[in-house]
Amino acid sequence: MIFLNAFLLSGLFCLVAELILDNTKLTPGHITSAFTVLGAALSFFGIYSKLIEWGGAGATVIISNFGHMLYLGAVEGFKEMGILGLFSGLLVKSSAAITSVVIFAFVLSLIFKPKS
């Protein structure tokens, strides 16, 4: 059942993104940013952790999870170190994701050539 839930949840997020992309003039960059903010907002209201419990990997592999991680890191940092911890907490919680994206992008740029 967990596979079905993951498929349905991530499919729902993709469906919403595709509908926005097809019916508005927003670019994929706008939609990515909006979903990151949506993940942080859902985390603020306590909804995103319930989505992770229900959908498992369907909620943790999409871009909205990055907003969720940023929010959790900021809250943890604020609780530990105050207002300065708010900013350092963002990096502590999401540094693995950011580092892996930079490394994978670099390696793939060495392997593949862009179209001209």
In the chain, the amino acid numbered 97 is A
Low-confidence stretches of the chain (pLDDT < 70) are 116
Specify the pLDDT at position 94: 80
Summary mean pLDDT of the chain: 91
Q: What is the percentage of the chain residues whose pLDDT exceeds 70?
A: 99
DSSP 56: T
Specify the pLDDT at position 116: 67
What is the rounded distance in angstroms from the CA atom of residue 74 to the CA atom of residue 12? 27
Specify the pLDDT at position 102: 92
DSSP H/E element including 57: helix 57-60
Specify the pLDDT at position 87: 84
